[in-house]
Copies of this chain bind each other. A is one copy, B any other.
Amino acid sequence: MKAHKIVIVEDHVLLSQAIASLVNSFEDFNVLYTCKNGKELLTKLKTFDNIPEIILMDVNMPILNGIETTEIIKKEYPKINVIALSVEENDITIIKMLKAGAKGYLLKDVEKDILELALKETIKNGYYHTKDVSNILINSLNDDNSTKIQLKKREIEFIKYSCSELTYKQIAEKMFLSPKTIDGYRDNLFQKLNIKNRIGLVLYAIKNGIYKL
């Protein structure tokens, strides 16, 4: 029986090689190669004829992150199944990843047996979800929180600037707006995100990946 072909995308090389070693130890699975980020993955997919059946993809990566990469993969290689592999327990990130087309989402604190199961199930059924992730999905469909809070481009730009030592006056200058307009953005966001002050905004931005440390 021919082993199923896996590719791993993960920015920390040691982890990526360690996961490769683990996957190679499973029966019927074989790691073709590993990549440091989405860009490297796309290059390698174009270069090599050997197309993987499953891509194990980290979510937080430099250059081209898991969500963006998965979207591209789904368009250009719709037959490849992407399984997300992340430490990120943030609901919004998980939902974004699944919307992008991931067929599974594994937290990095699962047992290796779960990884093996996820690989097998994905080959067999085309998808696999742990209970945790299923629950998040169900909750997110009920509360429409995940879809409700839609931030505008200009708001996101403002939030990013807010995660710095700039005063609002300075942010206004950077964005070519009057300080009073900036006041409006802020007040609006405070209400929308249910926060009390700029600290809350910074924490929100970091937790939701708008601002990266």
Contact = CB atoms under 8 A, between A and B. Distances in A.
A163 B203 contact: yes
Given A164-B199, A199-B202, A202-B202, A111 B18 contact: no
A197 B171 CA distance: 14
Interface stretch (A9-17, A45-53, A149-157, A174-182): A9-17
Q: Give the oligomeric copy count.
A: 2
A21 interface: yes
Interface in A168-213: 195-200, 202-203, 206-207, 213
A108 B12 contact: yes
Interface in A106-122: 106-112, 114-115
B109 A11 contact: yes
Given A17-B22, A206-B206, A200 B165 contact: yes
Interface string A59-101: 0000000000000000000000000010100000000000000
A111 B22 CA distance: 16
Contacts of A196: 165
Contacts of A200: 165
A163 B17 CA distance: 37
